[in-house]
Amino acid sequence: MNFNVCTTFRKLYLCQLSETIPNMKIYSVSLILIFACVSLQTKAQDTLWKNEKLNTAKDCKYMEPQEREMIYELNRLRSDPPRYAKEFVKPMLDGALRNLKEYGKGDANYSLTTSYVNNKPSKVDTTWHYINEEEVKACQTLYDSLLKMKPLSILLPDEGIYNACIKHAKDQGPTNNVNHQGRDGSWPWERVTKYSPKMRTGNENIAYNSDADVRTIVLQLLVDTGIPGYGHRYNTLNAEWTHVACYYTRPPVMKSKWWIQEYGAIEK
């Protein structure tokens, strides 16, 4: 199996990993560590968007309230991408444009793309960009894409996928860190289909930010600044997904707070 991992270094740490399998489908796995990115700290969470049909996890008592809210947020996005763009992405784009105008292109930054063959690194490629310039590009492409996008499938909660999240968190607990590959060598799609056999495939996003609200994390995954190809964005907006589980790490499993989103596509 061949893998590509892309990492960008700034206040944010982003990693994109993809697997090429025999039938030539590409499965993108996303990791994003969110630190203090001021331009993306918005008042978006204060904006009301109530639709109980989108709150598919509201009765899932096995999830914490924040976890259920993240599924609600993902369904807001997927149910009406143009509205999401106008209400939440446009303010971020405006802020990025102001920063570019006032401060210029910003500092030079880079992403590293590591290619893996048989789970071993084979080469590393470097892609350079300017922070403020790239922020505008990322926000603009997201905004334009969402404006043209039709509604996507509404995600349903799945307890099996949730158990896959917990399994992975417990596996990573001793490290107080979360990576996509488990210490047993498992990958997200393998964990999803193992713990929820009705799924034919799956995927994963991981985010770190102990203070950010749910919407800030979802927006950061969507913008995906500095990542060639915006893999996290397209993972979140994948029309193939039918089910999802969201889990945040907490004691005694792990001291630090990480978010794990795992998606599944049910067998047809």
* Two structure tokens written together for 225: 């600044």
Q: What is the arithmetic mean of pLDDT over 147-166?
A: 98
The pLDDT of residue 125 is 86
pLDDT band at 26 (very low <50, low <70, confident <90, very high): very low
The residue whose two tokens read 């009406």 is: 80
Contact 115, 121 (CB under 8 A): yes
The pLDDT of residue 213 is 93
Cα–Cα distance, 149 to 78 (Å, whole number): 9
Given a cut of 50, whether residue 165 has pLDDT beyond it is yes
Q: What is the arithmetic mean of pLDDT over 2-16?
A: 46
Question: Which of 190, 227, 175, 184 lies closest to 31, judged by CA?
Answer: 227
pLDDT band at 196 (very low <50, low <70, confident <90, very high): very high
Please give the C-alpha separations between residue 208 and each of 30, 33, 36, 142, 243, in angstroms, as whole numbers: 12, 4, 11, 22, 22
The pLDDT of residue 207 is 84
The pLDDT of residue 21 is 33
Residue, of 195 and 42, whose pLDDT is higher: 195
The pLDDT of residue 4 is 56
- The residues facing 13 across adjacent strands are 9, 33
Provide Rg for the chain, Cα atoms: 18
pLDDT band at 117 (very low <50, low <70, confident <90, very high): confident
For the chain, the average pLDDT equals: 84
- Please give the DSSP secondary-structure letter assigned to residue 174: G
pTM of the model: 0.85
The pLDDT of residue 67 is 97
Side-chain half-sphere CA neighbours of 88 within 13 A: 29
Question: Which of 147, 148, 154, 137 lies closest to 85, judged by CA?
Answer: 147
The pLDDT of residue 264 is 98
The residue whose two tokens read 């996008």 is: 149
Side-chain half-sphere CA neighbours of 227 within 13 A: 32
Q: What is the arithmetic mean of pLDDT over 69-79?
A: 98
Q: Model confidence over 100-110: pLDDT tens digits?
A: 999 999 999 98
List Cβ neighbours of 246 (8 Å cut-off, separation of 6 or more): 63, 67, 68, 70, 71, 74, 165, 259, 260, 261, 262
Cα–Cα distance, 84 to 134 (Å, whole number): 21
Q: Cα 251 vs. chain centroid, distance in angstroms?
A: 23
Q: What is the arithmetic mean of pLDDT over 31-49?
A: 51
Cα–Cα distance, 230 to 233 (Å, whole number): 5
The pLDDT of residue 38 is 38
Given a cut of 70, whether residue 22 has pLDDT beyond it is no
The pLDDT of residue 257 is 87
Given a cut of 80, whether residue 124 has pLDDT beyond it is yes
Residue, of 103 and 228, whose pLDDT is higher: 103
> Are β-strands 156-157 and 243-248 bridged in parallel, bridged antiparallel, or unpaired?
parallel
The pLDDT of residue 100 is 96
Given a cut of 60, whether residue 7 has pLDDT beyond it is no
